[in-house]
Chains A and B, each alone.
Chain A
């Protein structure tokens, strides 16, 4: 079975973000981009499903500017088979990404969409659910365990208060949580070979998707920092300040 793995590139979480002077965006010039942490987990899971024989072909898709190719090639080097870049230089929100990816999904004989539960830049956690809703497919979000057999996926979901396991028929949408797996590194020789794997660049127009977005970031700001407090000498002092100064006990 063939599966579609959407990925988003995001600023490396290890860098300190700076805002443009007018607060319209973060400074992106020269920053390091990575595959969204959760999408990388989805790529890894797709590869593991292929290694187990449950999946035969892994197609990647991303919506964004031309240089997203670089991150798609990294995921190809991890072990995906081919990639589609829906090239778009304008703003992309979860809704536009989902509308574009839904059209790509409809054009292939895909049995599953497997993607991260949230992007670590916008932290919206919408795209997988939007895809499932638009395509009217069953969804299993926040997966910490996935298995596929006999036309069904069995997924353990991380929910408030515990773990829930659901069994849903294919085709379906699965979003990956943090502890599903630990993604492998792409080896250098594979990075070279990845450049030869099938790579298709298409436009929103060719998919019949309008480039309008439904959300607009008006401005960004840095949250008021928390002031560092002070050190206390021992448990007795700690107890005393919590009772008499902070009055939380």
Chain B
């Protein structure tokens, strides 16, 4: 039986929680599609450490490479390496997290192996089709992959993270010498700059609580004065609506929505967000939604569990104080 290959995303050797979510989806696919074992592939600095970590989650084998070529993520060498790993283990299915890296990488892998891809799946159906959102989450599609080689990216909030199995899989270095393309990397260019957004808070994709601000915040300073303290009191990540990002109040990668991040925390607090469908697409699977808005007719109230029609500039500081004094 053919194997399932899991693309293991990590941060300097620490396996991302989203990778374990993708692994759960891979386990469901293996059961439903009748595949053999699940093998991981890990690339980049810290790959050996990450390989050992992920090998405890029920993988039969984990292949890794720390070649300098993989030091910074680039789609071109990574896609070649994933294709090489597929050949080595005889995989006909590749599964990975639908992060910005997964979104960039996996379709390129699909092209190299002439596979069929389903992006951003949120479920595996009993008949083998895959559930995924379309039209900004307004429609759910059941999609069949018709090719024998199948690539699947998984929404990071859609499955529970996999748990340790008690056993440890084999960890081995991925042999790449056979691929001449990997020696011709200058033609794929180089990374010349990287600008980190401030990361002293939990990341949006993993946070248990998210506090988001909308256009009503009015300025980047008000984000700092009003949203940040509340987020810190809740140990929450900070998000923003498209309108707030477009207005320059918050950096691009804070955007929650169809074209930004999709989040599903236990608690989502929307401050001064009207609730355009593109925003709802990114947060409506949150467990509990709180909306604070001056406009009683704002569409955000149609999805909020608890709505407070009030001025966020009064509510947020009060809430922050109350939480601090708990």
On chain A, the residues within 8 Å of B133 by CB distance are 123, 223
Does B177 lie at the interface of the complex (its beta carbon under 8 Å from any beta carbon of A)?
no
Does B37 lie at the interface of the complex (its beta carbon under 8 Å from any beta carbon of A)?
no
- From known contacts A123-B119, A228-B303, infer whether A221 and B139 are also in contact, taking CB-CB under 8 Å: yes
On chain B, the residues within 8 Å of A231 by CB distance are 301, 306-309
| 5 more A-B residue pairs beyond the given contacts A214-B145, A232-B308, with a C-beta to C-beta distance below 8 A | A123-B133, A167-B190, A226-B303, A230-B307, A248-B287
On chain A, the residues within 8 Å of B115 by CB distance are 214
Interface residues on B, range: 35 or more
Does B169 lie at the interface of the complex (its beta carbon under 8 Å from any beta carbon of A)?
no
Does A70 lie at the interface of the complex (its beta carbon under 8 Å from any beta carbon of B)?
no
Number of A residues near B (Cβ < 8 Å) is 78
Task: Establish whether residues A228 and B302, one from each chain, have CB atoms under 8 Å apart when the complex forms.
Answer: yes
Instruction: Give, as a whole number of angstroms, the nearest-CB distance from A132 to chain B.
Output: 6
Those of A215-247 within 8 Å (CB) of chain B? 215-223, 226, 228-232, 234-236, 238-239, 241-242, 246
Does A122 lie at the interface of the complex (its beta carbon under 8 Å from any beta carbon of B)?
yes
On chain B, the residues within 8 Å of A164 by CB distance are 191, 193-195
Task: Establish whether residues A126 and B75, one from each chain, have CB atoms under 8 Å apart when the complex forms.
Answer: no
Task: Establish whether residues B319 and A160, one from each chain, have CB atoms under 8 Å apart when the complex forms.
Answer: no
For residue B304, which residue of chain A has the nearest CB? A229
Instruction: Flag B67-101 by CB within 8 Å of A: 1 or 0 each.
Output: 00000001110010000000000000000000111
Of the residues B75, B108, B116, B304, contact of A95 by C-beta under 8 Å: B116
Instruction: Give, as a whole number of angstroms, the nearest-CB distance from B111 to chain A.
Output: 3
On chain B, the residues within 8 Å of A163 by CB distance are 193-195, 252-253
**B143, B278, B301, B304 pick with most chain A CB within 10 angstroms:** B143
Once the chains are docked, how many angstroms separate the CA of A214 from the CA of B112? 14
Once the chains are docked, how many angstroms separate the CA of A38 from the CA of B253? 17
On chain B, the residues within 8 Å of A249 by CB distance are 234, 267, 323, 326
Show 25 residue pairs from A and B whose CB-CB distance is below 8 angstroms, ordered by the A residue.
A123-B119, A123-B258, A127-B107, A129-B107, A129-B108, A131-B111, A132-B108, A133-B79, A133-B108, A133-B111, A136-B181, A139-B76, A141-B104, A158-B252, A161-B196, A162-B194, A162-B196, A162-B251, A217-B142, A218-B129, A218-B144, A222-B138, A223-B139, A234-B310, A235-B322
**B104, B112, B143, B288 pick with most chain A CB within 10 angstroms:** B104
Once the chains are docked, how many angstroms separate the CA of A126 from the CA of B144? 16
Of the residues B103, B107, B194, B252, contact of A165 by C-beta under 8 Å: B194
Q: Which segment of B49-57, B58-66, B197-205, B219-227 sits at the interface?
A: B197-205
Task: Establish whether residues B139 and A168, one from each chain, have CB atoms under 8 Å apart when the complex forms.
Answer: no
Task: Establish whether residues A166 and B117, one from each chain, have CB atoms under 8 Å apart when the complex forms.
Answer: no
Does B192 lie at the interface of the complex (its beta carbon under 8 Å from any beta carbon of A)?
yes
Task: Establish whether residues B191 and A223, one from each chain, have CB atoms under 8 Å apart when the complex forms.
Answer: no
Task: Establish whether residues A125 and B143, one from each chain, have CB atoms under 8 Å apart when the complex forms.
Answer: no
Instruction: Give, as a whole number of angstroms, the nearest-CB distance from B158 to chain A.
Output: 12
On chain A, the residues within 8 Å of B32 by CB distance are none
On chain B, the residues within 8 Å of A169 by CB distance are 187, 189
Does B134 lie at the interface of the complex (its beta carbon under 8 Å from any beta carbon of A)?
yes
Task: Establish whether residues A218 and B143, one from each chain, have CB atoms under 8 Å apart when the complex forms.
Answer: yes
Once the chains are docked, how many angstroms separate the CA of A125 from the CA of B262? 14
Does B165 lie at the interface of the complex (its beta carbon under 8 Å from any beta carbon of A)?
no
For residue B122, which residue of chain A has the nearest CB? A223
Instruction: Flag B299-323 by CB within 8 Å of A: 1 or 0 each.
Output: 0011111111110000100110011
- From known contacts A126-B107, A130-B110, A167-B192, infer whether A121 and B134 are also in contact, taking CB-CB under 8 Å: yes
Does B246 lie at the interface of the complex (its beta carbon under 8 Å from any beta carbon of A)?
yes
Instruction: Flag A139-164 by CB within 8 Å of B: 1 or 0 each.
Output: 10110100000001010101111111
On chain B, the residues within 8 Å of A246 by CB distance are 267, 288, 305-306
- From known contacts A228-B301, A242-B290, infer whether A235 and B306 are also in contact, taking CB-CB under 8 Å: no
